[in-house]
Structure 1
Amino acid sequence: MRAKVTAIVVAVVFVAYAVLIGWRGVLLIKDGSAIGFVLGIAVLMIPVIGAYLVWREIEFGRHTETLARELEAAGGLPVDDLPRRPSGRIDRAAADEAFGRYKAEAEAAPGDWRVWFRLATAYDAAGDRKRARAAMRTAIAQHDHAS
């Protein structure tokens, strides 16, 4: 729930930012000079690119949540039982051990989105966000392909 609230707040702040920047772009275009026109178009591209990136992140989160609900309903969601340090972070040695198990699963069944989902959670627990997102994208693509 906290992630959804954060996403909504970010989207609202982005919309306000896009409107303000977009208005500046329009003012530059109305300036009448060639440089103002080019700068205005460039400024208008900022909210367009930003909107695409925000949309992409929201879609990634929506797909991830869908997969998590489906996996939970089937009883295949990984249990978060790894030991934690006093700071709340997962113990690295325990995360590495769990990661090995999930990686072996993914190597044994590379076409199963469920193992890629679990591998993504293992990467995340180990602190490797880049690989976690890549594994989750693989899970999403395989789920969409299987559907």
Structure 2
Amino acid sequence: MSARILAIVMSALLALYIAFVAQRAVLLLMSGEPVGIAMGAALLVLPLVGAWALWRELSFGANAARLGRRLESESDLPDEEIDVRPSGRPDRAEADALFPRYREAVEAAPKDWRAWFRLGLAYDGAGDRRRARQAVRTAIALERAARGA
């Protein structure tokens, strides 16, 4: 729950920052000075990019949580636990031993969002956040396509 609260607080702070930057951009655009207008136009791009990035991350988190709850309700979440070192990092050899099972499940059913989500959880458990996010994004897209079909 603390991660969710932290995400909400950080999102609110980013939204506030975006609002302040957008306000400054508008003020510069209304200055009437060519340099002010140019700076205002350039500054207006930052809030747009920031708002897009914020939306994308919040949407990813909400969709990933929804799929996780769905798998949990189906009692289909992985049940393996990986030992962690005193530093909190997972035991790499143990995590690597789990990957073939989940990778084979994805290879056997590449259109199954559940297999992709479980692979993402395996990557996350091993500390490979980049691949975990990509696998979960694939799961979200496949589940969305299945829901729409």
Q: Report the TM-score, using the length of structure 2 for normalisation.
A: 0.93
Contact 1:99 1:126 in 2 (8 A): no
Q: Counterpart of 1:114? A: 114
Contact 1:120 1:133 in 2 (8 A): yes
Residues 92-103 of structure 1 mapped to structure 2, 5 A cutoff: 92-103=92-103
Amino acid at match of 1:82: I
CA distance in 1, matches of 2:100, 2:80: 16
1:13-37 Cα offsets, whole Å, 9 max, x none, are 0122112212221221122112211
Q: Counterpart of 2:33? A: 33
Amino acid at match of 1:50: G
Answer with 112-121 or 39-48: which moved more: 39-48
Aligned residues: 147
Q: Report the TM-score, using the length of structure 1 for normalisation.
A: 0.94
* Residue 62 (structure 1) aligned with residue 62 (structure 2): yes
Q: Counterpart of 1:43? A: 43
* Residue 21 (structure 1) aligned with residue 6 (structure 2): no
CA distance in 2, matches of 1:19, 1:9: 15
Displaced runs of 4+ in structure 1, greater than 3 A? none
Contact 1:83 1:91 in 2 (8 A): yes
CA distance in 1, matches of 2:10, 2:57: 11
Gaps of 5+ in 2: none
CA distance in 1, matches of 2:55, 2:79: 30
Q: Counterpart of 1:124? A: 124
CA distance in 2, matches of 1:37, 1:24: 11
CA distance in 2, matches of 1:117, 1:22: 37
Gaps of 5+ in 1: none
CA distance in 2, matches of 1:20, 1:144: 35
